[in-house]
């Protein structure tokens, strides 16, 4: 794969901003403007992939486009409340003051990009504010009215009490819609429940696991991007922490931060040695968390150089399932695997079919996402293969993004996840370019 060029980086930054805005406007639900922004993001991602496979002008100053993206993230974030089930209005005031301060300091710092001391102070303050706001949000919004929070809290309690989370009933969430289906028990793969149950036992809130996963992701991202320069690494970590929907994803207890943390460990290990045992084990831990990671699995395991990772990675996936399959296989498979594959089409999802459903009443099946993602994965694999970690990311991101676009439901948490992985792609591409330039 040729080195990261100026046009590829510009396209990747355009993806970051457009996809974040698509997840931000209308809270990640369908609207014409959100779908338009998402379409721009997908076009920019395809452009970046095309430029990545062709030689391009070397990036002379990668910090400035990343700085522009960070300023956009910080500015946009000020135009909304950080959470939607807040019990403490003071938190919003603190959020605006702290994030506004980071925005002002970053804007001023843009005039002194080479002042290492100032940027170290800004980075330290940004990390402290980012995680301080996350910790405060857990206190200010202790019981968000969303079914996943209810489900994860009760399932974690059940597991800690020695009860089967796949058979113990989950109560309804007051005020939450049913959307054509009802959660009756824990309805995700078991791997994600383990860190959430530990968080529940520690502080009584599963969302602490997501915050810890983001901390792990920030460390891994910094370590990968450090090869492209300290400033690049700092900016990428800040982009992770100040995603316009980052706090909202944490508040609502979606499990995508766990996916980001697990992916971070894998890409860190893979960037050091793609064939190592740590890379294989961390890949398995990541892939065990959610069904829609299937295209990343294919990208990581299909290349001849990576097929030796398949056995240990699949062994990790199986190990997460075995205790629950031995406990009671029927409910584990029905609720933990098949339930998510049978959920109904969501007309409020940020997908191409939302406006088509509104106009013509047509409801797509789950197969459309699989067909779209598979077709894009096949085309991307022909261009990139799968040996380099960046190639795995390009194939997986393209296929998964188009699968979401042509799927039955996709919301801001889906695009928060893709945005986080885009940061790792930028880190890998810029670091590789720096290594080649030495």
Per-residue pLDDT of the chain (438 residues; tens, 9 = 90+): 778 888 999 999 999 999 999 999 998 999 999 999 999 999 999 999 999 988 777 777 899 999 999 999 999 999 888 888 998 889 999 999 999 999 999 998 877 666 678 889 999 999 999 999 999 999 999 999 999 999 999 999 999 999 999 999 999 887 666 666 778 899 999 999 999 999 999 999 999 999 999 999 999 999 999 999 999 999 999 999 999 999 999 999 999 999 999 999 999 999 998 888 899 999 999 999 999 999 999 999 887 667 788 899 999 999 999 999 999 999 999 999 999 888 889 999 999 999 999 999 888 888 999 999 999 999 998 888 767 899 999 999 999 999 999 999 999 999 999 999 999 999 999 998 665 544
CA separation, residue 245 to residues 80, 151, 181, 296, 306 (Å): 10, 21, 26, 23, 34
CB 289 within 8 A of CB 255: yes
Q: What is the pLDDT of residues 399-410, one digit of tens each?
A: 999 999 999 999
Q: Is 179 left (phi over 0), alpha (psi -120 to 50) or beta?
A: left
> DSSP alpha helices (H): ranges in 204-255?
207-225, 230-241, 246-251
Say how far apart CA 334 and CA 6 lie, in whole Å.
48
Residue with tokens 């999802």: 349
User: What confidence score (pLDDT) does residue 437 get?
Assistant: 47
CB 232 within 8 A of CB 62: yes
């Amino acid at each position: 794969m040729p080195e990261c060029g100026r046009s590829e980086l510009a396209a990747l930054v355009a993806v970051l901003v457009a996809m974040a805005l698509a997840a931000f406007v209308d809270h990640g639900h369908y609207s014409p403007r959100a779908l338009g922004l998402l379409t721009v993001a997908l076009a920019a991602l395809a452009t970046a992939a095309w430029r990545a496979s062709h030689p391009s002008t070397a990036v002379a100053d990668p910090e400035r486009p990343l700085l522009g993206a960070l300023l956009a993230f910080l500015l946009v974030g000020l135009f909304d409340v950080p959470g939607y089930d807040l019990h403490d209005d003071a938190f919003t005031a603190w959020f605006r003051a702290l994030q506004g301060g980071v925005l002002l300091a970053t804007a001023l710092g843009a005039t002194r990009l080479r002042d290492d001391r100032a940027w170290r102070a800004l980075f330290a303050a940004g990390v402290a504010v980012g995680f301080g706001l996350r910790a405060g949000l857990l206190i200010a919004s202790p019981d968000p009215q969303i079914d996943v929070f209810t489900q994860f809290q009760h399932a974690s309690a059940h597991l800690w009490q020695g009860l089967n989370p796949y058979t113990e009933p989950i109560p309804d969430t007051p005020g939450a819609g049913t959307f054509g289906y009802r959660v009756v028990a824990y309805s995700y793969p078991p791997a994600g429940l383990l860190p959430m149950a530990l968080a529940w036992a520690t502080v009584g809130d599963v969302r602490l696991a997501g915050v810890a996963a983001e901390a792990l992701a920030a460390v891994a991202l910094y370590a990968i991007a450090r090869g492209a320069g300290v400033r690049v690494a700092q900016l990428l970590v800040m982009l992770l922490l100040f995603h316009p929907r980052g706090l909202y994803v944490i508040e609502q207890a979606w499990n995508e931060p766990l996916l980001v943390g697990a992916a971070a460990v894998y890409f860190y290990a893979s960037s050091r040695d793609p064939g190592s045992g740590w890379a294989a084990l961390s890949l398995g831990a990541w892939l065990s968390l959610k069904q829609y990671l299937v295209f990343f699995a294919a990208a990581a395991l299909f290349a001849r150089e990576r097929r030796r990772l398949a056995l240990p990675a699949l062994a990790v996936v199986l190990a997460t399932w075995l205790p629950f399959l031995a406990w009671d296989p029927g409910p584990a498979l029905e609720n933990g695997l098949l339930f998510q594959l049978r959920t109904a089409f969501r007309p409020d999802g940020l997908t191409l079919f939302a406006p088509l459903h509104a106009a013509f009443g047509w409801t797509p099946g789950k197969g459309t996402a699989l067909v779209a993602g598979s077709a894009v994965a096949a085309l991307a694999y022909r261009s990139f293969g799968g040996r380099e970690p960046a190639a795995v990311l390009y194939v997986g991101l393209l296929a998964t993004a188009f699968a979401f676009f042509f799927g039955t439901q996709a919301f801001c948490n889906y695009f928060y996840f893709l945005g986080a992985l885009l940061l790792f792609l930028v880190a890998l591409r810029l670091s590789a370019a720096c290594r080649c330039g030495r």
